[in-house]
Chains A and B, each alone.
Chain A
Amino acid sequence: MRRVWTAGLAACSGLSGSVLANGWNMPVGVTDVSREIHSLHMTIFWICVVIGVVVFGAMFYSLFRYRRSRGAKAANFHEHTTVEVIWTLIPILILVAMAIPATATLKTMYDASEADLDVMVTGQQWRWRYSYLGEDVAFTSNLATSRSQVSGESAKDENYLLEVDEPLVLPVDRKVRLLMTSDDVIHSWWVPDLAVKQDAVPGFVNENWVRINEPGIYRGQCAELCGRDHAFMPVVVRAVEPERFDEWLAERKEAAAQAELGVDREWELDELMERGEQVYGTICASCHQPDGSGSPPAFPALAGNQAMLEDPDYHIDTVVNGVSGSAMPAFRSTLNAVELAAVITYERNAWGNETGEAIQPADIAELLDEQ
């Protein structure tokens, strides 16, 4: 009997080694916190295994030993205060032993003070928006897997559903504070390797933080059901050396400044259409469909939408300020004046909507300033 148990335990521990390698278990991750969490996870797991072996061992011993078919006669005992007190107290002691390291880890996780960098993470149906606070750098991060891979028309690549057009870039060895919120429903930003999972709740700003130890690409997903494309809003974090991060941030700031310059000049219709198609594809198409047909009743069609085509001000107001009480969010803080003008122009001229009107970024910028 003993040999069986020894062999079983050996098999289990061997298993745990291969389990770690094969992606069957929680990843150890690349932060100090993720390592602590992993170690808590393994500790409580092995405690459960030991309790399980003892309890199920006693149970199966009884099941084999005291079968009536083997002539077992029932004993007549049904209470034993000492035993009952013991098996109440021992679990309490185990739990206290478990609660102490868990409390310490939790305190560390909740200490978001003295961060080197603040990043605002905003959940939107169904993408993430990242803005580096105080740096004038912000962008949205959309699923990059093509719909044809989802429908099976083309082969699925390695990072199917876990790839984005623009990953969140973070420096290693710096404490980054992540501020989470949402523009619509509740989302949850999760990267297993960073052990950060935090709900993004509309109307709230939640705090979490991360200090990444190794450069690399870390993938995760939205963890809170947020509607139709909940499965299609991945998180990708690219962790780079601090110097490279500083260079990257400077480049992005420069690009943002360039974009800002474009606001005041007169834009051609073609230019706006080209830019607008791009914005529409990343932001609007997930609800209103690439061909503008929408999915009524929740998401109205834009192609041939008379109310929208007849009244440009209504159209602009809807995109800039959203529609209260519906799934249409306000894009005033998500998109800049150029992007807003471009996408509105695109919607007014694509899919057979041929108004020929070009909405100028300068007008939108003026409107944004007024409101």
Chain B
Amino acid sequence: MASHLPPRPTAQHSQADAGGMAADEHHHGPRGLKRWLLTTNHKEIGSLYLIFSLSMFFIGGIFAMVVRAELFQPGLQLVQPEFFNQMTTMHGLIMVFGAVMPAFVGLANWMVPLQIGAPDMALPRLNNFSFWLLPVAFALLLSTLVMPGGAPDFGWTFYAPLSTTYAPPSTTFFIFSLHLAGISSILGAINIIATILNLRTPGMRMMDMSLFVWTWLITAFLLIAVMPVLAGVITMMLLDINFGTSFFNAAGGGDPVLFQHLFWFFGHPEVYIMILPAFGIVSVIIPTFARKRLFGYASMVYATASIAILSFLVWAHHMFVVGLPLVAELFFMYSTMLIAVPTGVKVFNWITTLFRGSLTFEPPMLFALAFVVLFTIGGFSGLMLAISPADFQYHDTYFVVAHFHYVLVPGAVFAIMAGVYYWLPKWTGHYPHTRLSQWHFWLSVIGVNLTFFPMHFAGLAGMPRRIPDYALQFADFNMITSIGAFMFGISQLLFVAVVVLCVRGGEKAPAKAWDGAEDLEWTVPSPAPLHTFETPPRFEPDRH
């Protein structure tokens, strides 16, 4: 594979070697731990977000390994159902709120200012605050594992009244933790919007921005719109648990279904919060390695905006079997099916960008291409799930688990990895190790499919989700899934190895590390010095 890669551009920016993350020119700030606690630099905060996200990815991953080990064969072998439920719940919460979302915020921190020619984020101190809320929030969440009664055990969707009247005492800590994570997200989103709207280099119009910036702008609006809804619903839970209210307690005149409406009014846009920036990353990487401009730039922007708007109108498709009236079922079925249209446009655009390009397959491109294929498979199962009558059979089975893992793991997570491989030369000044990256890619692709593809069959055959033990006819699917999961889990150690090796050394990268790359970040040296674009760069507006 490596022999087919084109020769890389040679390094011209020797002066850049002194700069970068080591921050030698950053003489005046505090050093050591305090430097990271007090930093207001978008690159340092971006790195903090990414490191935090990677740690959470491994913690959430270990929880998933516990789940898969227990499900390796029928019967209860390793853990009891109480602990199993804590593991599925914590896996979901950590991956969604601790791994995927902070990873995208980290990439935004690093790359949005560089792509729009801004010297930093618009609100640097707020930026520091939004990051440091996260370690506190997740330390709190993880601490529930050692509390009496155990950690939250009601699934990451925490449906009331299982999560209120019947919940373990640690639920209050879980609520507080989610509040902190939510505040962090809202502040981060405000910062990103302020940066994109105000700090673009002179001459850069909205329709000149890279797709990554565009998708993040739209995502940030989604965050601001729905995180308060999450905050509202968990506050209602808090009141139900500790202050005797009955929002979700039927015995007190409350409504358990109201919880689900509120949760999914947050939850569905949340799903797109985790995928729109991924679209952006892939839309930046594919043109680079096709050496051809992105096909349908404008339609990509409109498609992203349409998906964001539609995301507010589809929430009850998660609730097709709670007893909605017929009219509601029909409305949410149609609106959900409609989402396939803008999503299809995106896939068609990516493929047309490849068509008649000049393709090479460096690691970022491998991950981006796998994203297109595997995300589309997740899209297909999503379309099937949208058909409300059929959803009566699919709902709450492993078919759903397969679906959302296809869009989240080879979807969002692969896009994040593609982004990391793509921008590592800019961050560290070195190319990631090609051979190791390729091993990481192929093991991940095989592992991910081995893990999640058999889940489709298990679900269709009738296996409900969130069960620690299952009937014998599901045994083969589960064993394959578990083997795939261990393989995928272990191969992520390679990713860490690649990143660590890349930070420490490797083949030197020039400012423009990929010869087809177009955006502004490739005009600053590699590694990017701590301060960039202190004077706004010149921008020729006809690139898109």
Q: Which A residues are in CB contact (< 8 Å) with B330?
A: 103, 106
Q: Which A residues are in CB contact (< 8 Å) with B33?
A: none
A32, CB-defined interface residue at 8 Å: no
A14, CB-defined interface residue at 8 Å: no
State which residues 197-215 of B face A: CB under 8 Å: none
Is B341 within 8 A of A95, CB to CB?
Answer: yes
State which residues 14-47 of A face B: CB under 8 Å: 23-27, 36-37, 40-41, 44-45
B224, CB-defined interface residue at 8 Å: no
A333, CB-defined interface residue at 8 Å: no
A62 to B369, CA, bound (A): 12
Separation in Å of the A50 CB from the closest CB of chain B? Answer: 11
Interface 1/0s, chain B 277-315, versus A by CB < 8 A? 000000000000011111111110000000000000000
A48 and B380 contact, Cβ closer than 8 Å, known pairs A78-B295, A197-B395, A229-B81 = yes
A188 and B460 contact, Cβ closer than 8 Å, known pairs A92-B341, A102-B333 = no
Is B471 within 8 A of A160, CB to CB?
Answer: yes
Q: Which A residues are in CB contact (< 8 Å) with B464?
A: 190, 221-223, 230-231
Separation in Å of the A327 CB from the closest CB of chain B? Answer: 5
A347 to B99, CA, bound (A): 49
Closest to A207 in B: B323
B337, CB-defined interface residue at 8 Å: yes
A152, CB-defined interface residue at 8 Å: yes
A275 to B358, CA, bound (A): 80
Tell which of B76, B149, B290, B472 touches A158, judged by Cβ atoms closer than 8 Å: B472
Separation in Å of the B3 CB from the closest CB of chain A? Answer: 9
B250, CB-defined interface residue at 8 Å: yes
A228 and B85 contact, Cβ closer than 8 Å, known pairs A78-B294, A152-B75 = yes
Tell which of B4, B329, B356, B390 touches A74, judged by Cβ atoms closer than 8 Å: B356
A327 to B356, CA, bound (A): 64
A203 to B251, CA, bound (A): 7
Separation in Å of the A51 CB from the closest CB of chain B? Answer: 7
A59, CB-defined interface residue at 8 Å: yes
Is A231 within 8 A of B297, CB to CB?
Answer: no
A102 and B75 contact, Cβ closer than 8 Å, known pairs A24-B457, A56-B373 = no
A206, CB-defined interface residue at 8 Å: yes
Q: Which A residues are in CB contact (< 8 Å) with B392?
A: 37, 109, 195-197
A-B contacts, 19 listed (Cβ < 8 Å): A41-B390, A48-B384, A62-B351, A62-B356, A74-B292, A76-B293, A78-B292, A98-B337, A106-B388, A156-B74, A190-B464, A201-B257, A202-B161, A202-B256, A203-B255, A221-B462, A225-B155, A225-B159, A231-B467
Is B389 within 8 A of A106, CB to CB?
Answer: yes
A222 to B354, CA, bound (A): 46
Is A186 within 8 A of B355, CB to CB?
Answer: no
- Among the listed stretches A83-91, A113-121, A348-356, A357-365, which one makes contact with chain B, having 4 or more residues with CB under 8 Å of it? A83-91
Q: Which B residues are in CB contact (< 8 Å) with A244?
A: none
A66, CB-defined interface residue at 8 Å: yes
Separation in Å of the B379 CB from the closest CB of chain A? Answer: 9
- Among the listed stretches B110-118, B164-172, B179-187, which one makes contact with chain A, having 4 or more residues with CB under 8 Å of it? B164-172
B530, CB-defined interface residue at 8 Å: no
A192 and B393 contact, Cβ closer than 8 Å, known pairs A59-B351, A199-B323 = yes
A204 and B257 contact, Cβ closer than 8 Å, known pairs A55-B347, A62-B354, A92-B341 = yes
Closest to A202 in B: B250
State which residues 323-342 of B face A: CB under 8 Å: 323, 326, 329-330, 333-334, 337-338, 340-341
A99, CB-defined interface residue at 8 Å: yes
Is A161 within 8 A of B360, CB to CB?
Answer: no
State which residues 371-388 of B face A: CB under 8 Å: 372-373, 376-377, 380, 383-384, 387-388
B478, CB-defined interface residue at 8 Å: no
Is B6 within 8 A of A68, CB to CB?
Answer: yes
B469, CB-defined interface residue at 8 Å: yes
A320 to B223, CA, bound (A): 47
Is B341 within 8 A of A99, CB to CB?
Answer: no
Closest to A25 in B: B460
A223 and B396 contact, Cβ closer than 8 Å, known pairs A41-B390, A95-B341 = yes
The chain A residues found within 8 Å of chain B, CB to CB, are: 23-27, 36-37, 40-41, 44-45, 48, 51-52, 55-56, 58-59, 62-63, 66-69, 72-80, 83-84, 87-88, 91-92, 95, 98-99, 102-103, 105-107, 109-110, 125, 149-152, 156, 158-162, 180, 184-186, 188, 190, 192, 195-199, 201-204, 206-207, 220-232, 297-298, 324-327
B348, CB-defined interface residue at 8 Å: yes
Tell which of B75, B387, B397 touches A223, judged by Cβ atoms closer than 8 Å: B397
Is A23 within 8 A of B165, CB to CB?
Answer: no
Closest to A153 in B: B75
Q: Which B residues are in CB contact (< 8 Å) with A56?
A: 373, 376
A86 to B464, CA, bound (A): 39
A79 to B299, CA, bound (A): 9
Q: Which B residues are in CB contact (< 8 Å) with A40?
A: 387, 389-390
Most chain B CB inside 10 Å of its own CB: which residue of A87, A204, A207, A226 = A87
Q: Which B residues are in CB contact (< 8 Å) with A201?
A: 250, 256-257, 322-323
Separation in Å of the A70 CB from the closest CB of chain B? Answer: 9
Tell which of A160, A224, A225 touches B74, judged by Cβ atoms closer than 8 Å: A160
Most chain B CB inside 10 Å of its own CB: which residue of A27, A51, A196, A197 = A197
Closest to B165 in A: A325
A80 to B348, CA, bound (A): 12
B145, CB-defined interface residue at 8 Å: no
A192 and B462 contact, Cβ closer than 8 Å, known pairs A45-B384, A88-B341 = yes
B82, CB-defined interface residue at 8 Å: yes
A298 to B170, CA, bound (A): 12
Q: Which A residues are in CB contact (< 8 Å) with B354?
A: 59, 62-63, 66
A27 and B462 contact, Cβ closer than 8 Å, known pairs A41-B393, A98-B337, A229-B81 = yes
Separation in Å of the B394 CB from the closest CB of chain A? Answer: 8
A326 and B295 contact, Cβ closer than 8 Å, known pairs A58-B351, A88-B345, A230-B467 = no
Additional A-B contact list (19), CB under 8 Å, known A80-B296, A106-B333: A23-B473, A40-B389, A41-B390, A52-B380, A62-B357, A78-B294, A80-B295, A91-B344, A103-B330, A106-B389, A125-B166, A156-B472, A161-B74, A184-B166, A202-B251, A206-B322, A224-B159, A229-B81, A297-B149
Is B76 within 8 A of A95, CB to CB?
Answer: no
Q: Which B residues are in CB contact (< 8 Å) with A87?
A: 344-345, 348
